[in-house]
Amino acid sequence: MNKNTCTRLSGLLLLVALSGCAWRTYTPSPLDLPKAAELDAARRLDDNSVQAALAANGQDTTGWPNIIWNRDTLTTALLNIHPEQRAARAKVIAALTRIQAGLKPSAPELTTTMEHHSQTSDGKNSPWAVGAGLQWELVPASVKSALSQAASIESQEVKLTPGDTAWRLYRALGAAMLDRQLSLGRVQLAATGLELALAREKSVAVRERYGVAGAMEVQLTAQRLQDARRESAEADAAKVAAQAQLATALAVSFESLNNLRMDDWPMPEIADASTARQLALKNQLEFARQRLQYDMAEAELRLQVARQFPNLKLGPGLLWSQGDSVWQFSFSLPAALLNRNLAGIQTAEANRSAQGAAVLAKQSEIIGEVERLRLNALALTQPLNIARASLKAAQSQVKLTTAQFDAGNVDALNLIDARSLQLQAERAVFDARAALMRARWELELAMQTPLTTINTQ
């Protein structure tokens, strides 16, 4: 191999080596699980980072940390401190990096050859033949455009991931807040029931001393008191469970919620059929994902049509063979050029049709489900109205009985009975309102009003 040939081959190999990026070294990044567990245990709502997030979102933090937490501030805190939301954002970054990397032009391929000849023509030259070459793939502009469009649509779908996670966390938060709110109401009702049971026991004890109360009345009164105490204990346990559920939903410790003041979870008005349907079809992330998947199917079909015209591969090279320098130039096309990518196009067309049918089916499902939830919420307003009317009548009876008691016309037991009937009516109102609140909450979830505090960056 003469000097000029060696120089040419060395230069070609050096050009290939320098054409790439700088070499990277592997750096391990082990997870510190004990440290992460400590951070989880120390996470709080009234942390300075949460205050900064609230301020950045334009929410009032005057008097921090002694603020009243409402739906907006809790949602902001949730989506800024919950580990699952941070994980969702990290996955988006990773996916977008992968998509962008796929759009970068491929580097040329280096090919080398080395041959040994058993004989040489003159017996003086080296029996070795050594060569090197580069090969570039030329992608048609139509294919590049289709790939770019597909990547853009895939990026849009990937960006829905934090929204999916946020709505799942928000659903858990709302359910926990409703349970907490209802548990507090049950504690109050149970406390009133226990108070009346104790008053009844005291009144019956007096009647028993005077020989007015029979054994059955005494026994039933004792049983009512036991029932009231059990109900009060169960209500207290439900309150603890609701706070534990809320702590889990917010990813904070149970104790960190003890001294925080929280507002009631608001319920939106029941929308009319047209508005509810439009909001659900506009906002539901799953439906948006279905539509993007249809766009992806369209982009895939466009790509397969563009691939009717194959990529051309060009490959210049240099070969030194037994003292002779040979410049080479090659190009290649797929052997199935005349097939015009028929199989790929047909498959893409079938996928597009299937995805189109899936979008229409999802739309029909959403329309039916939203209307079902809306009608259910509307139907539950009537039991609440009836319960409220009954409560109003019971309250009037308590006022009348109180006046009679003050006048000495009835005894204490009559007043206790009237108040017990009022408590029964209050429980009916509570149960009817709780059912309506849950129905309206389910309707809100189906319409998926955008969470303005979501930060997907």
Q: How do the domains of the chain map onto residue ranges?
A: 64-100+132-267
Count of CB atoms within 10 A of residue 85's CB?
21
The tokens for 365 are 């499902």
Per-residue pLDDT, 7 = 54
Count of CB atoms within 10 A of residue 456's CB?
15
Kindly give the confidence (pLDDT) of every residue in the chain, 457 residues in length, as a single tens digit, with 9 standing for 90 and above: 444 555 555 555 555 555 555 678 889 999 999 998 998 888 999 889 899 999 998 999 999 999 999 999 999 999 999 999 999 999 999 999 999 888 887 777 777 777 777 665 565 667 777 777 777 777 788 888 888 999 999 999 999 999 999 999 999 999 999 999 999 999 999 999 999 999 999 999 988 888 888 889 899 999 999 999 999 999 999 999 999 999 999 999 999 999 899 999 988 889 999 999 999 999 999 999 999 999 999 999 999 998 887 777 777 776 666 666 777 777 776 655 567 788 889 999 999 999 999 999 999 999 999 999 999 999 999 999 999 999 999 999 999 999 999 999 999 999 999 999 999 999 999 999 999 999 999 999 999 988 864 443 3
CATH number of 64-100+132-267: 1.20.1600.10
Q: How far apart are CA 57 and CA 113, in angstroms?
A: 63
Per-residue pLDDT, 405 = 93
Per-residue pLDDT, 297 = 96
pTM for this predicted structure: 0.83
Tell me which residue of 157, 161, 181 sits closest to 69, measured CA to CA: 181
Per-residue pLDDT, 141 = 82
Amino acid identity, residue 27? T
Question: Residue 151, Cα to own-chain centre: how many angstroms?
Answer: 23
Count of CB atoms within 10 A of residue 27's CB?
5
| H or E element, residue 111 | strand 109-116
Q: Are 374 and 443 in contact (CB under 8 A)?
A: yes
